[in-house]
Structure 1
Amino acid sequence: MEIFKILNNNVVTVIDHKQEKVIMGRGIAYQASIGDTLDESKIQKIFVLSHYDDADRIISLLQTIPLEYLQVSDVILKEAKKTLDIDADIIFISLSDHIKGVVDRARKGIQLRNPLLPDIRRFYVKEFEFGLDALQTINQTFGVQLLEDEAAFIAMHLLVNMEDSQNGENLAYQMTQIIQEIIQVVSDFYQIEYNENSVDYYRFIMHLRLFTQRLLGHQSYEANEDDEDLLAALKRKYYKAYQCSEKIKQFIKEAYAYDITDEELLYLTIHINRLNHA
Protein backbone atom coordinates (compact mmCIF):
# COMPACT_ATOMS: atom_id res chain seq x y z
CA MET A 1 0.00 0.00 0.00
CA GLU A 2 1.20 3.49 -0.87
CA ILE A 3 0.67 6.58 1.27
CA PHE A 4 -2.08 8.77 -0.19
CA LYS A 5 -2.23 11.49 2.50
CA ILE A 6 -0.15 12.18 5.61
CA LEU A 7 -2.31 13.49 8.46
CA ASN A 8 0.49 13.47 11.03
CA ASN A 9 3.42 11.25 12.02
CA ASN A 10 1.05 8.56 13.28
CA VAL A 11 -1.87 8.63 10.85
CA VAL A 12 -1.97 8.33 7.06
CA THR A 13 -4.50 7.38 4.42
CA VAL A 14 -4.11 4.92 1.56
CA ILE A 15 -6.20 3.89 -1.42
CA ASP A 16 -6.87 0.17 -1.17
CA HIS A 17 -9.28 -1.58 -3.56
CA LYS A 18 -10.63 1.84 -4.60
CA GLN A 19 -11.42 2.77 -0.98
CA GLU A 20 -9.68 5.45 1.04
CA LYS A 21 -8.59 3.93 4.33
CA VAL A 22 -7.10 5.51 7.43
CA ILE A 23 -4.03 3.74 8.81
CA MET A 24 -2.85 4.34 12.38
CA GLY A 25 0.50 3.40 13.89
CA ARG A 26 3.18 5.09 15.95
CA GLY A 27 5.70 6.78 13.66
CA ILE A 28 4.08 5.30 10.57
CA ALA A 29 4.67 8.50 8.56
CA TYR A 30 7.98 9.51 10.12
CA GLN A 31 10.36 10.66 7.35
CA ALA A 32 7.86 9.32 4.80
CA SER A 33 6.37 11.08 1.77
CA ILE A 34 3.19 10.74 -0.25
CA GLY A 35 3.57 7.83 -2.64
CA ASP A 36 5.98 5.90 -0.40
CA THR A 37 5.24 2.28 0.35
CA LEU A 38 3.69 1.90 3.81
CA ASP A 39 5.64 0.03 6.49
CA GLU A 40 2.92 -2.49 7.29
CA SER A 41 4.74 -3.69 10.41
CA LYS A 42 3.76 -0.39 12.09
CA ILE A 43 0.02 -0.69 11.43
CA GLN A 44 -2.10 -0.69 14.60
CA LYS A 45 -5.57 0.07 13.21
CA ILE A 46 -7.30 0.44 9.86
CA PHE A 47 -10.72 1.87 9.15
CA VAL A 48 -12.55 2.83 5.98
CA LEU A 49 -13.44 6.49 5.44
CA SER A 50 -16.46 5.65 3.28
CA HIS A 51 -18.19 4.40 6.44
CA TYR A 52 -18.47 8.06 7.49
CA ASP A 53 -20.79 10.59 5.86
CA ASP A 54 -18.41 13.44 6.70
CA ALA A 55 -15.01 12.07 5.71
CA ASP A 56 -13.40 15.51 5.27
CA ARG A 57 -14.28 16.50 8.83
CA ILE A 58 -13.08 13.15 10.10
CA ILE A 59 -9.69 13.78 8.48
CA SER A 60 -9.52 17.29 9.97
CA LEU A 61 -10.39 15.95 13.40
CA LEU A 62 -7.85 13.14 13.19
CA GLN A 63 -5.11 15.72 12.69
CA THR A 64 -5.91 17.19 16.13
CA ILE A 65 -6.18 13.99 18.19
CA PRO A 66 -2.91 12.58 19.60
CA LEU A 67 -2.30 8.90 18.94
CA GLU A 68 -2.64 7.85 22.59
CA TYR A 69 -6.31 8.89 22.62
CA LEU A 70 -7.00 6.99 19.41
CA GLN A 71 -5.30 3.94 20.88
CA VAL A 72 -7.33 4.06 24.10
CA SER A 73 -10.56 4.49 22.16
CA ASP A 74 -9.63 1.51 20.01
CA VAL A 75 -8.98 -0.65 23.08
CA ILE A 76 -12.28 0.41 24.66
CA LEU A 77 -14.33 -0.21 21.53
CA LYS A 78 -12.80 -3.61 20.84
CA GLU A 79 -14.38 -4.65 24.13
CA ALA A 80 -17.67 -3.06 23.05
CA LYS A 81 -17.72 -5.26 19.96
CA LYS A 82 -17.40 -8.34 22.17
CA THR A 83 -20.08 -7.47 24.71
CA LEU A 84 -22.56 -5.11 23.01
CA ASP A 85 -24.52 -5.05 19.76
CA ILE A 86 -22.82 -2.02 18.26
CA ASP A 87 -20.93 -0.92 15.17
CA ALA A 88 -18.00 0.40 17.19
CA ASP A 89 -16.09 1.84 14.23
CA ILE A 90 -18.81 4.44 13.63
CA ILE A 91 -18.12 6.17 16.96
CA PHE A 92 -14.35 5.58 17.06
CA ILE A 93 -13.42 9.16 16.14
CA SER A 94 -16.09 10.91 18.22
CA LEU A 95 -15.21 8.83 21.28
CA SER A 96 -11.49 9.53 20.81
CA ASP A 97 -12.19 13.26 20.62
CA HIS A 98 -14.50 13.03 23.64
CA ILE A 99 -11.86 11.26 25.73
CA LYS A 100 -9.26 13.88 24.79
CA GLY A 101 -11.60 16.68 25.88
CA VAL A 102 -12.46 14.97 29.15
CA VAL A 103 -8.81 14.33 30.04
CA ASP A 104 -7.81 17.89 29.08
CA ARG A 105 -10.53 19.32 31.34
CA ALA A 106 -9.70 16.95 34.20
CA ARG A 107 -6.08 18.07 34.14
CA LYS A 108 -7.36 21.63 34.56
CA GLY A 109 -9.50 20.56 37.51
CA ILE A 110 -12.79 20.69 35.58
CA GLN A 111 -15.19 17.74 35.56
CA LEU A 112 -18.80 17.92 34.41
CA ARG A 113 -21.69 16.17 36.14
CA ASN A 114 -24.00 13.91 34.16
CA PRO A 115 -27.60 14.36 35.33
CA LEU A 116 -28.61 11.21 33.46
CA LEU A 117 -26.26 9.10 35.60
CA PRO A 118 -29.01 7.54 37.79
CA ASP A 119 -31.16 6.69 34.75
CA ILE A 120 -28.31 5.21 32.73
CA ARG A 121 -27.12 3.16 35.71
CA ARG A 122 -30.64 1.83 36.22
CA PHE A 123 -31.96 1.29 32.69
CA TYR A 124 -28.81 0.59 30.67
CA VAL A 125 -26.95 -1.76 32.98
CA LYS A 126 -24.67 -3.41 30.40
CA GLU A 127 -23.73 -0.13 28.76
CA PHE A 128 -23.05 1.54 32.10
CA GLU A 129 -20.91 -1.36 33.33
CA PHE A 130 -18.98 -1.09 30.09
CA GLY A 131 -18.58 2.64 30.73
CA LEU A 132 -17.12 1.90 34.16
CA ASP A 133 -14.55 -0.46 32.62
CA ALA A 134 -13.69 2.19 30.04
CA LEU A 135 -13.35 4.76 32.80
CA GLN A 136 -10.82 2.58 34.58
CA THR A 137 -8.81 2.23 31.37
CA ILE A 138 -8.79 6.02 30.83
CA ASN A 139 -7.80 6.74 34.43
CA GLN A 140 -4.93 4.25 34.35
CA THR A 141 -3.67 5.38 30.95
CA PHE A 142 -3.69 9.13 31.56
CA GLY A 143 -3.20 9.32 35.34
CA VAL A 144 -6.49 11.08 36.03
CA GLN A 145 -9.39 10.33 38.38
CA LEU A 146 -12.55 10.88 36.41
CA LEU A 147 -15.90 10.88 38.15
CA GLU A 148 -18.40 8.04 37.71
CA ASP A 149 -20.46 10.51 35.68
CA GLU A 150 -18.02 9.99 32.82
CA ALA A 151 -18.95 6.29 32.64
CA ALA A 152 -22.49 7.44 31.87
CA PHE A 153 -21.23 9.82 29.16
CA ILE A 154 -19.36 6.94 27.50
CA ALA A 155 -22.48 4.78 27.72
CA MET A 156 -24.42 7.59 26.02
CA HIS A 157 -22.02 7.52 23.06
CA LEU A 158 -22.76 3.83 22.62
CA LEU A 159 -26.50 4.30 23.06
CA VAL A 160 -26.72 7.00 20.39
CA ASN A 161 -25.12 4.63 17.91
CA MET A 162 -27.41 1.73 18.82
CA GLU A 163 -30.52 3.92 18.69
CA ASP A 164 -29.59 5.02 15.17
CA SER A 165 -29.14 1.42 14.05
CA GLN A 166 -32.38 0.15 15.56
CA ASN A 167 -34.70 2.98 14.59
CA GLY A 168 -33.28 3.56 11.13
CA GLU A 169 -33.96 6.43 8.80
CA ASN A 170 -36.93 7.93 10.67
CA LEU A 171 -34.89 8.77 13.76
CA ALA A 172 -31.99 10.01 11.64
CA TYR A 173 -34.35 12.28 9.69
CA GLN A 174 -35.89 13.76 12.84
CA MET A 175 -32.51 14.34 14.45
CA THR A 176 -31.13 15.95 11.29
CA GLN A 177 -34.11 18.29 11.01
CA ILE A 178 -33.78 19.51 14.61
CA ILE A 179 -30.01 19.94 14.30
CA GLN A 180 -30.45 21.99 11.12
CA GLU A 181 -32.99 24.20 12.87
CA ILE A 182 -30.68 24.81 15.83
CA ILE A 183 -27.76 25.60 13.53
CA GLN A 184 -29.97 28.13 11.76
CA VAL A 185 -30.79 29.81 15.09
CA VAL A 186 -27.08 30.10 15.88
CA SER A 187 -26.23 31.30 12.38
CA ASP A 188 -28.95 33.97 12.48
CA PHE A 189 -27.89 35.10 15.95
CA TYR A 190 -24.23 35.59 14.98
CA GLN A 191 -24.98 36.58 11.37
CA ILE A 192 -22.44 34.11 10.06
CA GLU A 193 -22.34 31.03 7.84
CA TYR A 194 -20.16 28.39 9.49
CA ASN A 195 -17.48 26.29 7.88
CA GLU A 196 -19.06 22.85 8.00
CA ASN A 197 -15.65 21.23 7.59
CA SER A 198 -14.22 22.79 10.76
CA VAL A 199 -13.41 20.65 13.77
CA ASP A 200 -15.38 22.86 16.17
CA TYR A 201 -18.46 22.67 13.93
CA TYR A 202 -18.17 18.88 13.92
CA ARG A 203 -17.92 18.83 17.72
CA PHE A 204 -20.99 21.02 18.00
CA ILE A 205 -22.93 18.69 15.72
CA MET A 206 -21.91 15.69 17.85
CA HIS A 207 -23.19 17.47 20.94
CA LEU A 208 -26.46 18.30 19.19
CA ARG A 209 -26.91 14.65 18.25
CA LEU A 210 -26.86 13.70 21.93
CA PHE A 211 -29.22 16.55 22.74
CA THR A 212 -31.74 15.69 20.02
CA GLN A 213 -31.79 12.08 21.16
CA ARG A 214 -32.80 13.22 24.63
CA LEU A 215 -35.41 15.56 23.15
CA LEU A 216 -36.95 12.85 20.98
CA GLY A 217 -36.86 10.43 23.92
CA HIS A 218 -38.69 13.00 26.09
CA GLN A 219 -35.89 12.90 28.65
CA SER A 220 -35.52 15.89 30.93
CA TYR A 221 -33.51 16.68 34.03
CA GLU A 222 -32.66 19.44 36.43
CA ALA A 223 -29.21 20.88 37.07
CA ASN A 224 -27.64 20.39 40.47
CA GLU A 225 -26.27 23.23 42.58
CA ASP A 226 -22.74 22.94 41.21
CA ASP A 227 -24.03 23.16 37.64
CA GLU A 228 -26.08 26.24 38.50
CA ASP A 229 -22.97 27.95 39.87
CA LEU A 230 -20.96 27.01 36.78
CA LEU A 231 -23.71 28.23 34.47
CA ALA A 232 -23.82 31.57 36.32
CA ALA A 233 -20.06 31.93 35.81
CA LEU A 234 -20.31 31.04 32.12
CA LYS A 235 -23.19 33.49 31.69
CA ARG A 236 -20.85 36.28 32.80
CA LYS A 237 -17.78 35.06 30.93
CA TYR A 238 -19.49 34.01 27.67
CA TYR A 239 -22.44 36.39 27.70
CA LYS A 240 -23.13 36.37 23.96
CA ALA A 241 -22.93 32.58 23.68
CA TYR A 242 -25.30 32.32 26.65
CA GLN A 243 -27.78 34.67 24.98
CA CYS A 244 -27.64 32.48 21.87
CA SER A 245 -28.35 29.42 24.02
CA GLU A 246 -31.39 31.21 25.42
CA LYS A 247 -32.61 31.78 21.84
CA ILE A 248 -32.30 28.04 21.20
CA LYS A 249 -34.16 27.31 24.43
CA GLN A 250 -37.04 29.57 23.35
CA PHE A 251 -37.18 28.01 19.87
CA ILE A 252 -37.17 24.42 21.17
CA LYS A 253 -39.90 25.25 23.68
CA GLU A 254 -42.14 26.72 20.99
CA ALA A 255 -41.43 24.13 18.30
CA TYR A 256 -41.20 20.93 20.33
CA ALA A 257 -42.72 21.72 23.74
CA TYR A 258 -39.45 20.63 25.34
CA ASP A 259 -37.87 22.55 28.20
CA ILE A 260 -34.10 22.91 27.96
CA THR A 261 -32.73 22.89 31.49
CA ASP A 262 -29.83 24.85 32.96
CA GLU A 263 -27.68 21.75 32.54
CA GLU A 264 -28.25 21.73 28.79
CA LEU A 265 -27.76 25.50 28.58
CA LEU A 266 -24.37 25.02 30.19
CA TYR A 267 -23.21 22.62 27.48
CA LEU A 268 -24.74 24.66 24.68
CA THR A 269 -22.99 27.80 25.91
CA ILE A 270 -19.61 26.05 26.03
CA HIS A 271 -19.96 24.65 22.51
CA ILE A 272 -21.37 27.83 20.98
CA ASN A 273 -18.58 29.92 22.48
CA ARG A 274 -15.94 27.53 21.14
CA LEU A 275 -17.62 27.47 17.72
CA ASN A 276 -17.42 31.24 17.48
CA HIS A 277 -13.94 31.73 18.99
CA ALA A 278 -11.97 28.98 17.28
Structure 2
Amino acid sequence: MKIKKVLNSSVVLAVNDRNQEFILLGKGIGYGKKMGTTLDSESYNQVFVPVNNANVEQLLTSIAESSPKLIEIAQKIISHASESLNSRLSDALYVSLLDHLKFAIEREEKGITITNKVYWEIKTYYSKEFSIGTYAVKLLNSEMNTNFSDQEASNIAAHIINAENESDDRRDALKAGQVIGRIVNIIKYQLQGSVNDSNANFQRCVVHVKFLVERIIANVMFEDVDAAIFEIVKSKDSKAFQIAENVSDYIKIKFGEPLTKEELMLMAMQIHRID
Protein backbone atom coordinates (compact mmCIF):
# COMPACT_ATOMS: atom_id res chain seq x y z
CA MET A 1 0.00 0.00 0.00
CA LYS A 2 1.12 3.56 -0.75
CA ILE A 3 -0.33 6.72 0.70
CA LYS A 4 -2.35 8.75 -1.76
CA LYS A 5 -3.65 11.31 0.73
CA VAL A 6 -3.31 11.92 4.48
CA LEU A 7 -6.74 12.56 5.99
CA ASN A 8 -5.51 13.02 9.56
CA SER A 9 -2.82 11.59 11.80
CA SER A 10 -4.65 8.27 12.13
CA VAL A 11 -6.40 7.93 8.77
CA VAL A 12 -5.02 7.85 5.24
CA LEU A 13 -6.28 7.18 1.75
CA ALA A 14 -4.05 4.52 0.22
CA VAL A 15 -3.71 2.70 -3.07
CA ASN A 16 -2.48 -0.84 -3.75
CA ASP A 17 -0.47 -2.16 -6.71
CA ARG A 18 -3.72 -2.70 -8.67
CA ASN A 19 -4.60 0.97 -8.23
CA GLN A 20 -7.49 0.18 -5.85
CA GLU A 21 -8.12 2.79 -3.19
CA PHE A 22 -8.67 2.03 0.50
CA ILE A 23 -9.11 4.02 3.69
CA LEU A 24 -6.70 2.76 6.34
CA LEU A 25 -6.83 3.36 10.07
CA GLY A 26 -3.88 3.13 12.41
CA LYS A 27 -2.51 5.12 15.32
CA GLY A 28 -0.12 7.71 13.90
CA ILE A 29 -0.34 6.21 10.42
CA GLY A 30 -0.56 9.64 8.78
CA TYR A 31 1.68 11.60 11.14
CA GLY A 32 4.47 13.26 9.20
CA LYS A 33 3.80 11.09 6.14
CA LYS A 34 3.76 12.26 2.54
CA MET A 35 2.06 11.08 -0.63
CA GLY A 36 3.80 8.01 -2.03
CA THR A 37 5.02 6.69 1.33
CA THR A 38 4.89 2.89 1.37
CA LEU A 39 2.94 1.26 4.21
CA ASP A 40 3.25 -2.29 5.47
CA SER A 41 0.39 -4.22 7.09
CA GLU A 42 1.70 -3.42 10.57
CA SER A 43 1.13 0.29 9.96
CA TYR A 44 -2.66 -0.02 10.07
CA ASN A 45 -5.09 -2.07 12.11
CA GLN A 46 -8.22 -1.60 10.05
CA VAL A 47 -9.28 -1.20 6.44
CA PHE A 48 -12.37 0.97 6.54
CA VAL A 49 -13.90 0.57 3.11
CA PRO A 50 -12.72 0.32 -0.49
CA VAL A 51 -13.33 3.67 -2.13
CA ASN A 52 -15.50 2.69 -5.09
CA ASN A 53 -18.77 4.52 -4.69
CA ALA A 54 -20.36 7.80 -5.73
CA ASN A 55 -19.99 9.29 -2.26
CA VAL A 56 -16.20 9.21 -2.11
CA GLU A 57 -15.60 12.92 -1.63
CA GLN A 58 -18.27 13.22 1.07
CA LEU A 59 -16.92 10.13 2.76
CA LEU A 60 -13.35 11.39 2.74
CA THR A 61 -14.46 14.75 4.15
CA SER A 62 -16.51 13.09 6.89
CA ILE A 63 -13.63 10.79 7.84
CA ALA A 64 -11.10 13.62 7.82
CA GLU A 65 -13.31 15.52 10.29
CA SER A 66 -13.98 12.53 12.56
CA SER A 67 -11.91 10.79 15.18
CA PRO A 68 -10.58 7.30 14.36
CA LYS A 69 -12.55 5.96 17.33
CA LEU A 70 -15.83 7.30 15.95
CA ILE A 71 -15.00 5.90 12.51
CA GLU A 72 -14.47 2.46 14.01
CA ILE A 73 -17.77 2.73 15.90
CA ALA A 74 -19.60 3.68 12.71
CA GLN A 75 -18.15 0.67 10.91
CA LYS A 76 -19.10 -1.66 13.78
CA ILE A 77 -22.68 -0.40 13.62
CA ILE A 78 -22.86 -0.88 9.85
CA SER A 79 -21.32 -4.37 10.05
CA HIS A 80 -23.79 -5.31 12.79
CA ALA A 81 -26.67 -3.93 10.72
CA SER A 82 -25.63 -5.87 7.60
CA GLU A 83 -25.39 -9.10 9.57
CA SER A 84 -28.66 -8.55 11.45
CA LEU A 85 -30.63 -7.68 8.31
CA ASN A 86 -28.71 -10.13 6.11
CA SER A 87 -28.56 -7.56 3.35
CA ARG A 88 -26.18 -5.12 1.71
CA LEU A 89 -26.80 -1.54 2.78
CA SER A 90 -26.38 1.55 0.64
CA ASP A 91 -22.85 2.96 0.47
CA ALA A 92 -24.37 6.33 1.37
CA LEU A 93 -24.88 5.01 4.91
CA TYR A 94 -21.15 5.44 5.65
CA VAL A 95 -21.50 9.18 5.10
CA SER A 96 -24.91 9.76 6.67
CA LEU A 97 -24.25 7.66 9.78
CA LEU A 98 -20.79 9.09 10.46
CA ASP A 99 -22.07 12.66 10.11
CA HIS A 100 -25.09 11.87 12.28
CA LEU A 101 -22.98 10.33 15.07
CA LYS A 102 -20.57 13.25 15.01
CA PHE A 103 -23.30 15.87 15.40
CA ALA A 104 -25.28 13.75 17.86
CA ILE A 105 -22.26 13.68 20.19
CA GLU A 106 -21.80 17.43 19.79
CA ARG A 107 -25.48 17.99 20.70
CA GLU A 108 -25.18 15.67 23.67
CA GLU A 109 -22.14 17.55 24.96
CA LYS A 110 -24.13 20.80 24.73
CA GLY A 111 -27.16 19.26 26.45
CA ILE A 112 -29.33 19.61 23.35
CA THR A 113 -31.97 16.87 23.01
CA ILE A 114 -33.88 16.33 19.78
CA THR A 115 -37.09 14.31 20.11
CA ASN A 116 -37.88 11.93 17.29
CA LYS A 117 -41.51 12.56 16.35
CA VAL A 118 -41.93 9.05 14.99
CA TYR A 119 -40.09 7.24 17.79
CA TRP A 120 -43.06 4.97 18.54
CA GLU A 121 -43.67 4.16 14.88
CA ILE A 122 -40.04 3.22 14.23
CA LYS A 123 -39.81 1.17 17.43
CA THR A 124 -43.06 -0.63 16.62
CA TYR A 125 -42.96 -1.10 12.87
CA TYR A 126 -39.19 -1.35 12.31
CA SER A 127 -38.21 -3.50 15.28
CA LYS A 128 -35.10 -5.01 13.63
CA GLU A 129 -33.75 -1.60 12.68
CA PHE A 130 -34.61 -0.24 16.13
CA SER A 131 -32.66 -3.06 17.77
CA ILE A 132 -29.67 -2.05 15.64
CA GLY A 133 -30.14 1.52 16.90
CA THR A 134 -30.19 0.16 20.47
CA TYR A 135 -26.93 -1.70 19.80
CA ALA A 136 -25.43 1.53 18.44
CA VAL A 137 -26.50 3.51 21.52
CA LYS A 138 -24.99 0.96 23.89
CA LEU A 139 -21.77 1.01 21.88
CA LEU A 140 -21.61 4.82 21.87
CA ASN A 141 -22.38 5.10 25.59
CA SER A 142 -19.68 2.54 26.38
CA GLU A 143 -16.97 3.76 23.99
CA MET A 144 -17.62 7.52 23.92
CA ASN A 145 -18.89 8.03 27.48
CA THR A 146 -22.19 9.46 26.23
CA ASN A 147 -25.62 9.05 27.78
CA PHE A 148 -27.91 8.49 24.81
CA SER A 149 -31.42 7.10 25.28
CA ASP A 150 -33.78 5.11 23.07
CA GLN A 151 -34.67 8.36 21.31
CA GLU A 152 -31.23 8.29 19.73
CA ALA A 153 -31.69 4.61 18.92
CA SER A 154 -34.69 5.54 16.77
CA ASN A 155 -32.69 8.32 15.06
CA ILE A 156 -29.97 5.84 14.11
CA ALA A 157 -32.59 3.28 13.06
CA ALA A 158 -33.99 5.84 10.59
CA HIS A 159 -30.61 5.95 8.81
CA ILE A 160 -30.53 2.15 8.66
CA ILE A 161 -34.05 2.03 7.19
CA ASN A 162 -33.13 4.55 4.53
CA ALA A 163 -30.00 2.58 3.64
CA GLU A 164 -31.88 -0.69 3.11
CA ASN A 165 -32.92 0.55 -0.31
CA GLU A 166 -30.13 1.29 -2.80
CA SER A 167 -32.05 4.38 -3.99
CA ASP A 168 -32.30 6.43 -0.82
CA ASP A 169 -34.78 8.92 -2.24
CA ARG A 170 -37.33 6.13 -2.69
CA ARG A 171 -37.72 5.52 1.00
CA ASP A 172 -37.87 8.03 3.81
CA ALA A 173 -38.04 6.53 7.30
CA LEU A 174 -39.68 9.48 9.03
CA LYS A 175 -42.27 9.90 6.31
CA ALA A 176 -43.00 6.17 6.23
CA GLY A 177 -43.28 5.97 10.02
CA GLN A 178 -45.78 8.81 10.18
CA VAL A 179 -47.94 7.38 7.41
CA ILE A 180 -47.89 3.85 8.83
CA GLY A 181 -48.91 5.15 12.25
CA ARG A 182 -51.74 7.22 10.80
CA ILE A 183 -53.14 4.33 8.73
CA VAL A 184 -53.05 1.94 11.69
CA ASN A 185 -54.84 4.54 13.82
CA ILE A 186 -57.53 4.96 11.15
CA ILE A 187 -58.12 1.21 11.13
CA LYS A 188 -58.22 0.93 14.94
CA TYR A 189 -60.52 3.92 15.31
CA GLN A 190 -62.94 2.67 12.66
CA LEU A 191 -63.07 -0.73 14.37
CA GLN A 192 -64.19 1.17 17.49
CA GLY A 193 -61.53 0.01 19.88
CA SER A 194 -62.16 -3.71 19.39
CA VAL A 195 -58.58 -4.36 18.27
CA ASN A 196 -56.11 -6.27 20.42
CA ASP A 197 -52.62 -5.13 19.43
CA SER A 198 -51.19 -8.58 20.15
CA ASN A 199 -53.75 -10.28 17.90
CA ALA A 200 -51.94 -12.24 15.16
CA ASN A 201 -54.28 -10.99 12.43
CA PHE A 202 -53.76 -7.40 13.55
CA GLN A 203 -50.00 -7.87 13.47
CA ARG A 204 -50.25 -9.26 9.93
CA CYS A 205 -52.28 -6.21 8.96
CA VAL A 206 -49.60 -3.92 10.39
CA VAL A 207 -46.94 -5.70 8.32
CA HIS A 208 -49.16 -5.31 5.25
CA VAL A 209 -49.53 -1.58 5.95
CA LYS A 210 -45.76 -1.23 6.33
CA PHE A 211 -45.07 -2.72 2.90
CA LEU A 212 -48.01 -0.86 1.37
CA VAL A 213 -46.51 2.45 2.48
CA GLU A 214 -43.12 1.46 1.08
CA ARG A 215 -44.77 0.65 -2.25
CA ILE A 216 -46.59 3.99 -2.25
CA ILE A 217 -43.41 5.95 -1.54
CA ALA A 218 -41.57 3.97 -4.22
CA ASN A 219 -44.50 4.55 -6.60
CA VAL A 220 -44.92 0.83 -7.30
CA MET A 221 -48.42 0.04 -6.05
CA PHE A 222 -50.07 -3.15 -7.30
CA GLU A 223 -52.43 -2.32 -10.16
CA ASP A 224 -53.86 -5.42 -11.83
CA VAL A 225 -57.07 -6.82 -10.33
CA ASP A 226 -59.87 -9.03 -11.60
CA ALA A 227 -63.10 -6.99 -11.57
CA ALA A 228 -65.20 -9.97 -10.46
CA ILE A 229 -62.92 -10.75 -7.51
CA PHE A 230 -62.90 -7.07 -6.56
CA GLU A 231 -66.72 -7.01 -6.38
CA ILE A 232 -66.82 -10.24 -4.36
CA VAL A 233 -64.43 -8.82 -1.75
CA LYS A 234 -66.36 -5.56 -1.71
CA SER A 235 -69.67 -7.30 -1.04
CA LYS A 236 -68.28 -9.79 1.49
CA ASP A 237 -67.58 -7.23 4.22
CA SER A 238 -68.86 -3.73 3.52
CA LYS A 239 -67.49 -2.40 6.83
CA ALA A 240 -63.94 -3.57 6.11
CA PHE A 241 -64.17 -2.18 2.60
CA GLN A 242 -65.39 1.19 3.90
CA ILE A 243 -62.44 1.36 6.30
CA ALA A 244 -60.11 0.53 3.40
CA GLU A 245 -61.70 3.38 1.42
CA ASN A 246 -61.07 5.71 4.37
CA VAL A 247 -57.41 4.65 4.26
CA SER A 248 -57.43 5.35 0.52
CA ASP A 249 -58.87 8.84 1.15
CA TYR A 250 -56.02 9.56 3.56
CA ILE A 251 -53.46 8.28 1.04
CA LYS A 252 -54.94 10.59 -1.59
CA ILE A 253 -54.63 13.59 0.75
CA LYS A 254 -51.05 12.63 1.65
CA PHE A 255 -49.72 11.61 -1.77
CA GLY A 256 -52.18 13.04 -4.30
CA GLU A 257 -53.37 9.63 -5.52
CA PRO A 258 -55.74 7.11 -3.86
CA LEU A 259 -55.03 3.41 -3.52
CA THR A 260 -55.34 1.39 -6.70
CA LYS A 261 -58.24 -1.08 -6.84
CA GLU A 262 -55.96 -4.02 -6.08
CA GLU A 263 -54.35 -2.26 -3.11
CA LEU A 264 -57.83 -1.26 -1.90
CA MET A 265 -59.01 -4.87 -2.15
CA LEU A 266 -55.95 -6.24 -0.34
CA MET A 267 -56.34 -3.65 2.42
CA ALA A 268 -60.01 -4.60 2.88
CA MET A 269 -59.07 -8.29 3.10
CA GLN A 270 -56.55 -7.57 5.84
CA ILE A 271 -59.07 -5.53 7.81
CA HIS A 272 -61.72 -8.24 7.35
CA ARG A 273 -59.45 -10.76 9.08
CA ILE A 274 -59.10 -8.46 12.12
CA ASP A 275 -62.76 -7.63 12.55
Please say whether Structure 1 and Structure 2 have the same fold, judged by a TM-score greater than 0.5: yes
Q: Which runs of 5+ in 2 are unaligned?
A: 183-251, 256-275
Letter of the 2:37 partner, please give it: D
1:228-243 residue pairs with structure 2 within 5 A? none
- Kindly report the root-mean-square deviation, in angstroms, between the aligned alpha carbons of the 2 structures: 2.7
Mapped partners of 1:102, 1:216: distance in 2: 23
Sort the Cα spacing of 1:115 and 1:217 in 2 relative to 1 into closer, same or farther, 3 A: closer
Task: Name the residue aligned to 1:185.
Answer: none
Work out whether residues 47 and 89 of structure 1, in 8 Å CA contact, stay in contact via their aligned partners in 2.
Answer: no
Work out whether residues 114 and 152 of structure 1, in 8 Å CA contact, stay in contact via their aligned partners in 2.
Answer: yes
Match of 2:113 among 111, 114, 117: 111
Does 1:53 find its partner at 2:13? no
Mapped partners of 1:82, 1:215: distance in 2: 26
Pairwise CA distance, 1:47: 1.1
SS at match of 2:179: coil
Task: Name the residue aligned to 1:219.
Answer: 179
Task: Name the residue aligned to 2:3.
Answer: 3
Letter of the 1:153 partner, please give it: N
Work out whether residues 81 and 87 of structure 1, in 8 Å CA contact, stay in contact via their aligned partners in 2.
Answer: yes
Letter of the 1:70 partner, please give it: I
Residues 231-271 of structure 1: CA deviation (Å, up to 9, x unaligned)? xxxxxxxxxxxxxxxxxxxxxxxxx9659xxxxxxxxxxxx
Does 1:92 find its partner at 2:72? no
Sort the Cα spacing of 1:57 and 1:82 in 2 relative to 1 into closer, same or farther, 3 A: closer
| Identical aligned residues as a percent | 25
Sort the Cα spacing of 1:95 and 1:33 in 2 relative to 1 into closer, same or farther, 3 A: same
Task: Name the residue aligned to 1:137.
Answer: 139
Sort the Cα spacing of 1:156 and 1:213 in 2 relative to 1 into closer, same or farther, 3 A: closer
SS at match of 1:75: helix
Residues 52-95 of structure 1: CA deviation (Å, up to 9, x unaligned)? 21322222222111111101112222222221133357212321
Sort the Cα spacing of 1:218 and 1:108 in 2 relative to 1 into closer, same or farther, 3 A: closer
Mapped partners of 1:216, 1:77: distance in 2: 22
Mapped partners of 1:24, 1:145: distance in 2: 26
Sort the Cα spacing of 1:89 and 1:73 in 2 relative to 1 into closer, same or farther, 3 A: farther
Pairwise CA distance, 1:141: 1.4
Task: Name the residue aligned to 2:29.
Answer: 28
Work out whether residues 62 and 98 of structure 2, in 8 Å CA contact, stay in contact via their aligned partners in 1.
Answer: no
Work out whether residues 11 and 24 of structure 2, in 8 Å CA contact, stay in contact via their aligned partners in 1.
Answer: yes
Sort the Cα spacing of 1:40 and 1:77 in 2 relative to 1 into closer, same or farther, 3 A: same
Q: Which moved more, 1:148-157 or 1:71-80?
A: 71-80
Mapped partners of 1:77, 1:71: distance in 2: 10
Pairwise CA distance, 1:214: 4.4
Task: Name the residue aligned to 2:198.
Answer: none
Work out whether residues 158 and 173 of structure 2, in 8 Å CA contact, stay in contact via their aligned partners in 1.
Answer: no
Letter of the 1:5 partner, please give it: K
When normalised by structure 1's length, the TM-score is: 0.59
Work out whether residues 14 and 20 of structure 1, in 8 Å CA contact, stay in contact via their aligned partners in 2.
Answer: yes
Letter of the 1:219 partner, please give it: V
Letter of the 2:115 partner, please give it: R
Aligned residues: 183
When normalised by structure 2's length, the TM-score is: 0.59
Residues 182-208 of structure 1: CA deviation (Å, up to 9, x unaligned)? xxxxxxxxxxxxxxxxxxxxxxxxxxx
Runs of 4+ in structure 1 displaced over 6 angstroms? none
Pairwise CA distance, 1:127: 1.3
Pairwise CA distance, 1:112: 0.6
1:1-278 residue pairs with structure 2 within 5 A? 1-16=1-16, 17-41=18-42, 42-50=44-52, 52-88=53-89, 90=91, 91-162=93-164, 164-165=165-166, 175=169, 214-215=174-175, 219=179
Task: Name the residue aligned to 2:185.
Answer: none
Work out whether residues 140 and 146 of structure 2, in 8 Å CA contact, stay in contact via their aligned partners in 1.
Answer: yes
Pairwise CA distance, 1:45: 2.3
Residues 141-196 of structure 1: CA deviation (Å, up to 9, x unaligned)? 1212112111111111111011x23xxxxx55xx38xxxxxxxxxxxxxxxxxxxx
- The structure carrying a bigger helix percent of its residues is 1
